[in-house]
Amino acid sequence: NPGDVEEVYLGERGVLSAVGPCRIVVDMTSSRPSLALTIAAMAAQRGMESLDAPVSGGVMGARDATLAIMVGGRRETFEEVLPLLERMGKAIAFMGGPGAGQHTKIANQILVAGTIIGVCESLLYAVKQGLDQQAVIDVVGKGFASSALFNILGPKIAQGDFSPGFFVEHFIKDMGIALAEAESAELSLPGLALVHQLYVAVKAQGNGRSGHQALYLALKSMSDIK
């Protein structure tokens, strides 16, 4: 959470208070763009460089070193750190100054929110109509409606597997950051707001530590499907 990041970097015993040869810090959490700006400013005061470099790709991407990494900061610093990032990811992009990486991750999470409700509603409709969910995934997942979320999380839903690759409570945090940034920019994102509220219900039902495919469970409950 942003509070944890702030404590780790800016706290009394935080990274930026350390005495030593450190020149560059790279924050790879998903956090507030404004906090990335603060960390960059405080690092500069200490003669250090800071990059915000959140990732997408989940546990599988981390394990296989295929993460998408979106980076904000100084380009020269990005170029210096790039060989290290290439050990973790396949799609690595410099997005702009401090905070730009976090803004890009917000855009990513907005897209995930809109996609995952479609995944869950599609499979809920399929089961209600007596279709085999995996058979639906096998054909729809190869057509125009195909997405990584459908092809990866769909089979988990079909198997009743709601174990976490990414916690519901962490996704709620990310969506909350996105909604706050959108409000600050006077931007209306009603789809995101709806999905955020549905995930709050998922957590209230005791699934905060489940995978974010557990949205299916809340939607299933709303339709009283056994």
Residue positions annotated with a catalytic role = 105
Q: Which among 212, 192, 193 is positioned nearest to 120, based on CA atoms?
A: 212
- What are the C-alpha distances in Å from 162 to residues 127, 189, 213? 17, 27, 6
Residue 66 in contact with residue 90, Cβ under 8 Å? Answer: yes
The alpha carbon of residue 112 and the mean position of all alpha carbons in its chain are separated, in whole angstroms, by 8
Residue 66 in contact with residue 57, Cβ under 8 Å? Answer: yes
Q: Which among 161, 162, 154 is positioned nearest to 133, based on CA atoms?
A: 154
Q: Which two tokens stand for residue 218?
A: 């809340």
